[in-house]
Amino acid sequence: MNLPALLASLDARAHAAADWGKVASYIPELARVDPAQFAISVVLADGTLHSAGQSQTRFSIQSVSKVFTLACTLSRIGESLWSRVGREPSGDRFDSILLLEQEQGRPRNPFINAGALVTTDELLSGRAPREALSEILGFIRAAAGDDDIHIDGEVAASEQATGFRNIALANYLKSYDNLKNAPEMVLGTYFHQCAIEMTTEQLARAGRGIAGLPGAPLLLSPVKRRRIAALMMTCGHYDGSGDFAFRTGLPGKSGVGGGILVAVPGVASVAVWSPGLNAWGNSKVGTEAIEQLAHETGWSVFG
């Protein structure tokens, strides 16, 4: 397989796309992003990095951050997280409130917004938001081996001003006693973690540990990385998780900024970015590129 040529062909194919999908419009800063952009980066088990497209362009990782927050929270408190958050796909949109009432304020999984708010609440546990955020950023920087990874304050402020659904979710969780900290503190931390910006190269490197690549910084036990990857597979694309698994056979976590982090256990860590989204709120062209990559390489957790 000639990976550089394959990635170049994915870039060319992306730019031939008649329909890039629609950028997220509910966060004003993201609504301004040009959808006609594409980047893909792959780190292989031998440590080599291969990219095509705008792999030096920083984008808002949004919900891809939930993977790293979950890793930090599991490292901090371990299994007790699961008394407050489930591990089942929700079958609903990422920002849905529907099941929260039926299930007494215990979110289905850590990747839908309600579950991510609880996970962030655990990480916060009485500390100042700045401390929890520096733990998340510290984890990502160490995982990527790169300190030049930061939070875009304008994106965070933009979501803080308009994130009424998340504000509703946090208050609803609090009413069920499933937030320990004040909703404003949790929301502030969550909006800032979502506003971390990275290039696909940085994200692919940060995903090496979750993919279990040799030589990755040892930040996660094998059990934790397998569990995180299992949740990516079953819940990482919300109500589009089944479709993503069917099309790619790989665990992935998407964000409304158009990024997707994909783990090919023991083989590769992949990051793709294209800001236009499909109907589920996952990168449209990014998903198509991962589908094609999996098809051409034969990469799949199903052998």
- Quote the least distance from Cβ 234 to ligand GLN, whole Å: 16
Told to judge if 66 belongs to the known catalytic residues of this protein, a careful annotator would answer yes
Tokens in use for 228?
């995180």
Tokens in use for 197?
């910006």
Pick between residue 111 and residue 299 the one whose CB is nearest to ligand GLN. Answer: 111
Pick between residue 93 and residue 226 the one whose CB is nearest to ligand GLN. Answer: 93
Given 63, 90, 269, 274, the catalytic residue: 63
Consult the annotation and say whether 256 binds a ligand: yes
Told to judge if 190 belongs to the known catalytic residues of this protein, a careful annotator would answer yes
Rounded to whole angstroms, the Cα distance separating 168 from 131 reads: 25
Told to judge if 26 belongs to the known catalytic residues of this protein, a careful annotator would answer no
Pick between residue 69 and residue 248 the one whose CB is nearest to ligand GLN. Answer: 69
Q: Of all residues in this chain, which one has the CB nearest to ligand GLN in the complex?
A: 63
Rounded to whole angstroms, the Cα distance separating 263 from 148 reads: 23
Told to judge if 172 belongs to the known catalytic residues of this protein, a careful annotator would answer no
Please say whether the beta carbons of 73 and 87 come within 8 A: no
Told to judge if 256 belongs to the known catalytic residues of this protein, a careful annotator would answer yes
Given 23, 42, 64, 256, the catalytic residue: 256
Tokens in use for 240?
């589009």
Largest Cα span, the chain: 55
Pick between residue 137 and residue 194 the one whose CB is nearest to ligand GLN. Answer: 194
- Quote the least distance from Cβ 242 to ligand GLN, whole Å: 17
- Quote the least distance from Cβ 241 to ligand GLN, whole Å: 12
Consult the annotation and say whether 63 binds a ligand: yes
Q: How many CB atoms lie within 10 A of CB 32?
A: 10
What is the sign, positive or negative, of the torsion defined by CA atoms of 274, 243, 72, 125? positive
**CA-based nearest residue to 232, from 245, 219, 223, 220:** 245
Given 65, 238, 262, 283, the catalytic residue: 238
Strand pairing class (196-198; 150-151): antiparallel
Please say whether the beta carbons of 148 and 140 come within 8 A: no
Give the binding site for ligand GLN (CB under 6 A): 62-63, 94-95, 113, 159, 166, 194, 255-256, 281
Question: What residues act catalytically?
Answer: 63, 66, 190, 238, 256
Known binding residues: 63, 113, 159, 166, 190, 238, 256
Known binding residues for substrate: 63, 113, 159, 166, 190, 238, 256
